[in-house]
């Protein structure tokens, strides 16, 4: 039997996904021909903004390349538009008059940008922002050029920020009273405006365009209705889109604002499907990719004869402009019966507003700190009852479960079918039944129901359920709280340090109601770490809140002596360094010289007062602290890689050294060990490190969450990237994400268990703006901490000696 012929019109984001799903499920189901009016195949259109800003190249945003189409036998007709569809004859006609027959047709024609029909709109240099051509025209602008962007929505602002980053003098003309009025309320719009103005962008709100002025057929200025003239070399209109439904309409398919489709993505003709921005489903149009991906999946299933149905979900928005951290979801218009919860921190430019109706969250707008965006979005999408956490809702998920909000009554109030364990889909009822059936502690509940057996983030909730159900027969383990000085958990403290801008230890003790004057040996190191991680400039590390090893920059041993481990970058040393180590060992009577598991040498048994002296000797030979004692970067193990090994694929030693030089000195929640192997034989054991890189022919595989201590864990693959530069960027970004998010004394694998690999992937790998921002914050912190603590301490050597020696005088 001959294969069915599938013709796809439009190689955009939606059709790309359909092809992926189709080919994954059944590569032989169809003979596929793909038409695209643009002279290229599928690419990630939303990434045009990073391309414009210069953060990405076009090549990097291609989702399907020639090789992919060739491998999967997709016949490509790029640069060819379809002019007509004849549903009766089941054939399409190309621009050039060629006729092709189909068995199934998929319309994925996207949308067309709306051009305001102002006088002069057809002048040269008046463009929209939709495709690579538009992007290139904007990229041709530079310092000395002036550009006006009409439209202060998502697209217009990304265009403006991208060009401003290129040194272009940009003015945004927006007709409404504040920016992004569909996604933001006035306050958030104001904060956004302020940060864009700081980037040098001029913003005119409430401004009505009247006419485009030209000279020699080219745009020269935009005139507003108040007579203002804004001179420009390029005028970008980013004022909205219209579904591209003309082709369907002339073919006689049912079309409203877009092409009508049913839940199976089938149009009014049974053999014609449509997906993407060109469709209208149940009265709704689409302008963001999330629902298009859902549609694509359904369309592929429908084509394969499987049952599937598309349902609309609520959407959230982010702006891809560095330094403008905003998030919006749901409906936040004022209205009767609606109630607002607002949190503002003017000093840090943070604004959060939640809109509540009845006992549901229906809208959220956040600016400045958007970390909890997805959690709020989940509450909106799932219409979760929030009555019980209303008081503390605005502080986000980590705060829920804090004692102030009386977590027990919140849990007690949850309905039986409330989902407790998201990983395993376990509801409250299942858990309480198990408890009633005799599972009276956490382990038993886990065994009986699987709840909290995967990522563990719901452990607190399960414990609260145990307490609610069993009463006094169960007490929540004290480890829930940070230590005996407080009733708050680590998560609460981290969150409050940020949200209340607490920048010193006394501020934490005071504002968070510590029951002791200055903490204890458990909370002080944690709080010290949180403060320095969150406020690298305002707060300075406090040695007195450090465990002795980190205060003295050496490992204390059972007899009170210390071990000294100098750094050997990437495990590489020199004869001169070895000689210096040997000399130091002799001079200070070091009893044991040992090769460590971290590819360097340990001098064990050094007397406390000798520490600054031995460091001074080692410093002179160029040796610095190896931080073998720190909750910070330990070593980057490497193998010999391409330098010597017959299998090496990349310069693993070189990359290891680079990483060590970037990361050293940074404090982290727990110790951080890296390794780089030159090929999958993995001689550097990269797959059991906190972060491990395995070099392969095509690039670098970055894995995270490995360990080989009390728990043995293999890393999980976070990303594979082609260049060393990007590998380094991702390693640094994930380190910073870990620094900012993890609980003190959680290794990466524990943190990963809580946040999930998907989240790290989305925020660190996929979200380029965020990746860059993480790197920038890491660098800011490293401007303080990337230095040798030994060198600093050799100068006040006398602090390592006794304050006084009264034994000598006794002998007088």
Partner 1 sequence: MSWIDIGHIDDIPLLGARVVKTPVGCVALFRTGKAEVFAASNTCPHKRGPLSEGIVHGQKVTCPLHNWVFDLNTGLAQGEDGQIAVYPVRLDGGRILLNAAAIGKRSAA
Ligand X SMILES: Cc1cc2nc3c(=O)[nH]c(=O)nc-3n(C[C@H](O)[C@H](O)[C@H](O)COP(=O)(O)OP(=O)(O)OC[C@H]3O[C@@H](n4cnc5c(N)ncnc54)[C@H](O)[C@@H]3O)c2cc1C
Q: Could you tell which of ligand SRM, ligand X, ligand SF4, none binds residue 679, using a CB distance below 5 to 8 A set by kind?
A: ligand SF4
Is residue 658 a contact point for ligand X (CB under 6 A)? no
DSSP letters along 580-607, please? HHHHHHHHTT-SEEEE-TTSSEEEEEE-
Q: Could you tell which of ligand SRM, ligand X, partner 1, none binds residue 708, using a CB distance below 5 to 8 A set by kind?
A: ligand SRM
Beta strands 672-677 and 633-638 are parallel
Which listed residue (292, 604, 636, 655) binds ligand X by CB under 6 A? Answer: 292
Q: Which is nearer to ligand X, 81 or 745 (by Cβ)?
A: 81
d(CA 515, CA 536): 27
Q: Which two tokens stand for residue 693?
A: 């890189």
d(CA 457, CA 446): 13
Q: Could you tell which of partner 1, ligand X, ligand SRM, none binds residue 215, using a CB distance below 5 to 8 A set by kind?
A: none
Give SS3 for 359.
Answer: coil
CB of 649 to ligand SF4, least distance (A): 7
Q: Which is nearer to ligand X, 129 or 351 (by Cβ)?
A: 129
Q: Which is nearer to ligand SRM, 17 or 747 (by Cβ)?
A: 747
d(CA 374, CA 393): 13
Is residue 804 a contact point for partner 1 (CB under 8 A)? yes
The neighbouring-strand residues paired with 414 are: none
Query: Which of the residues 336 through 355 are near ligand X (CB under 6 A)?
Result: none
CB of 489 to partner 1, least distance (A): 20
Is residue 681 a contact point for ligand SF4 (CB under 6 A)? yes
d(CA 716, CA 760): 11
Is residue 295 a contact point for ligand X (CB under 6 A)? no
Is residue 639 a contact point for ligand SF4 (CB under 6 A)? yes
- Choose the stretch contacting ligand X; rule: CB under 6 A; options: 287-295, 431-439, 584-592, 635-643: 287-295
Q: Which is nearer to ligand SRM, 17 or 553 (by Cβ)?
A: 553
Which listed residue (87, 459, 677, 782) binds ligand SF4 by CB under 6 A? Answer: 677
Q: Which residues contact 54 (CB under 8 A, 6 or more apart)?
A: 139, 162, 165, 166
CB-count burial class (<10 Å; 0-12, 13-18, 19+) for 287? middle
Beta strands 592-595 and 601-606 are antiparallel
d(CA 740, CA 775): 12
Give SS3 for 170.
Answer: strand
Is residue 591 a contact point for ligand SRM (CB under 6 A)? no
Q: Which is nearer to ligand X, 109 or 302 (by Cβ)?
A: 109
Is residue 240 a contact point for ligand X (CB under 6 A)? no
Q: Could you tell which of ligand SRM, ligand X, ligand SF4, none binds residue 681, using a CB distance below 5 to 8 A set by kind?
A: ligand SF4
d(CA 705, CA 737): 13
Query: Which of the residues 592 through 651 are near partner 1 (CB under 8 A)?
Result: 608
d(CA 74, CA 36): 13
Q: Could you tell which of ligand X, ligand SF4, ligand SRM, none binds residue 594, using a CB distance below 5 to 8 A set by kind?
A: ligand SRM
Q: Could you tell which of ligand SF4, ligand SRM, ligand X, none binds residue 288, using a CB distance below 5 to 8 A set by kind?
A: ligand X
DSSP letters along 400-426, please? BTBGGG-HHHHHHHS-TT-EEETTTTE
Q: Which strand (E) or helix (H) includes residue 694?
A: strand 691-696
Which listed residue (35, 327, 367, 399) binds ligand X by CB under 6 A? Answer: 35
Binding mask 501-530 for partner 1 (x = CB under 8 A): ---------------xxxxxx--xx-----
Q: Which two tokens stand for residue 452?
A: 């909290």
Which listed residue (155, 366, 702, 718) binds ligand X by CB under 6 A? Answer: 155
Cβ-defined contacts of 545-552 (< 8 Å, 24+): 545/505, 545/519, 547/521, 549/629, 549/630, 550/525, 550/629, 550/630, 550/631, 552/608, 552/611, 552/629, 552/800
Which listed residue (184, 707, 718, 733) binds ligand SRM by CB under 6 A? Answer: 707
Identify each DSSP E strand in 277-359 by its residue range.
279-281, 316-318, 326-330, 338-345, 350-357
Is residue 430 a contact point for ligand SF4 (CB under 6 A)? no
Nearest partner of 83 among 247, 273, 272, judged by Cα: 247
Binding site for ligand X (CB under 6 A): 9-15, 35-38, 45-46, 48-49, 81-82, 108-110, 129-130, 155, 158, 244, 247, 276-277, 287-289, 292, 320
Binding site for ligand SRM (CB under 6 A): 555, 557, 563, 565, 594, 596-598, 600, 602, 604, 628, 634-635, 671, 673, 707-710, 747
């Amino acid at each position: 039997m001959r294969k069915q012929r599938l013709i796809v019109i439009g190689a955009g984001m939606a059709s790309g996904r359909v092809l992926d799903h189709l080919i994954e499920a059944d590569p032989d189901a169809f003979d596929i021909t793909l038409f695209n009016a643009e002279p290229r195949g599928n690419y990630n259109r939303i990434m045009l903004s990073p391309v414009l800003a210069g953060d990405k190249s076009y090549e990097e945003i291609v989702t399907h390349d020639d090789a992919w189409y060739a491998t999967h036998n997709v016949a490509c007709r790029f640069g060819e538009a379809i002019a007509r569809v004849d549903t009766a004859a089941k054939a399409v006609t190309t621009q050039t008059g060629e006729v092709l027959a189909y068995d199934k047709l998929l319309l994925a024609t996207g949308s067309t940008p709306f051009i305001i029909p102002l006088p002069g709109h057809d002048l040269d240099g008046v463009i929209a922002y939709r495709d690579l051509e538009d992007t290139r025209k904007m990229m041709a602008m530079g310092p000395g050029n002036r550009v006006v962007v009409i439209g202060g929505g998502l697209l217009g602002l990304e265009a403006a920020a991208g060009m401003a980053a290129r040194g272009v003098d940009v003015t945004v003309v927006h007709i409404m009273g504040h920016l992004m009025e569909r996604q933001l309320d006035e306050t958030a719009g104001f904060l956004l405006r302020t940060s864009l103005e700081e980037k040098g962008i001029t913003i005119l709100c409430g401004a009505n365009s009247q006419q485009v002025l030209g000279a020699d057929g080219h745009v020269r200025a935009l005139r507003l209705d108040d007579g203002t003239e804004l001179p420009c070399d390029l005028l970008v209109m980013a004022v909205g889109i219209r579904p591209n439904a003309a082709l369907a309409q002339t073919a006689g398919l049912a079309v409203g604002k877009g092409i009508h489709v049913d839940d199976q993505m089938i149009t009014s003709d049974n053999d014609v499907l449509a997906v993407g921005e060109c469709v209208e489903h149940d009265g709704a149009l689409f302008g963001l990719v999330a629902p298009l991906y859902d549609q694509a999946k359904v369309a592929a299933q429908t084509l394969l004869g499987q049952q599937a149905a598309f349902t609309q979900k609520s959407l959230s928005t982010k702006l891809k402009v560095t330094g403008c951290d905003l998030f919006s979801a749901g409906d936040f218009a004022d209205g009767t019966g609606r109630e607002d919860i607002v949190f503002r921190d003017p000093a840090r430019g943070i604004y959060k507003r939640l809109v509540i109706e009845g006992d549901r969250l229906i809208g959220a707008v956040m600016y400045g700190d958007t970390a909890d965006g997805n959690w709020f979005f989940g509450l909106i999408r799932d219409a979760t009852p929030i009555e019980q956490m209303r008081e503390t809702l605005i502080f986000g998920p980590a705060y829920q479960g804090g004692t102030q909000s009386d977590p027990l009554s919140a849990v007690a109030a949850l309905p039986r079918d409330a989902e407790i364990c998201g990983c395993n889909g376990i509801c409250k009822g299942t858990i309480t039944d198990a408890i009633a059936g005799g599972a009276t502690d956490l382990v038993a509940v886990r065994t009986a129901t699987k709840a909290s057996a995967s990522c563990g983030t719901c452990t607190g909730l399960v414990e609260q359920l145990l307490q609610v159900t069993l009463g006094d027969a169960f007490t929540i383990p004290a480890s829930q709280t940070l230590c005996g000085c407080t009733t708050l958990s680590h998560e609460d403290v981290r969150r409050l340090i940020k949200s209340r801008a607490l920048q010193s230890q006394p501020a934490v003790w005071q504002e968070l109601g510590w029951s002791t004057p200055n903490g204890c040996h458990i909370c002080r190191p944690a709080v010290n770490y949180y403060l320095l991680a969150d406020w690298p400039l305002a707060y300075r590390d406090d040695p007195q809140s450090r465990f002795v090893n980190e205060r003295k920059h050496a490992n204390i041993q059972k007899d009170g002596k210390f071990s000294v481990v100098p750094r050997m970058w990437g495990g590489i040393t020199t004869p001169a360094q070895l000689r210096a180590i040997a000399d130091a060992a002799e001079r200070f009577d070091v009893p044991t010289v040992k090769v460590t598991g971290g590819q360097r040498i340990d001098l064990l048994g050094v007397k406390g007062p000798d520490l600054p002296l031995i460091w001074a000797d080692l410093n002179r030979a160029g040796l610095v602290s190896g931080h073998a004692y720190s909750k910070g970067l330990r070593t980057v193990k490497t193998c010999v890689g391409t330098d010597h090994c017959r299998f090496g694929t990349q310069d693993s030693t070189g990359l290891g050294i680079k990483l060590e030089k970037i990361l050293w000195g940074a404090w982290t929640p727990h110790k951080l060990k890296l390794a780089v192997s030159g090929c999958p034989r993995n001689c550097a054991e990269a797959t059991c490190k906190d972060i491990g890189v395995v070099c392969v022919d095509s690039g670098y595989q970055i894995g995270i969450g490995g360990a080989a201590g009390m728990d043995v864990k293999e890393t999980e693959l976070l990303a594979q990237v082609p260049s060393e530069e990007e590998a380094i960027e991702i390693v640094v970004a994930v380190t910073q994400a870990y620094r900012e998010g993890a609980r003190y004394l959680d290794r990466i694998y524990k943190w990963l268990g809580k946040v999930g690999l998907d989240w790290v992937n989305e925020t660190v790998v996929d979200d380029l703006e965020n990746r860059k921002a993480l790197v920038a914050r890491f660098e800011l912190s490293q401007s303080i901490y990337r230095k040798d603590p030994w060198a600093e301490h050799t100068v006040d050597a006398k602090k390592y000696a006794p304050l006084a020696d009264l034994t000598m005088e006794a002998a007088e």
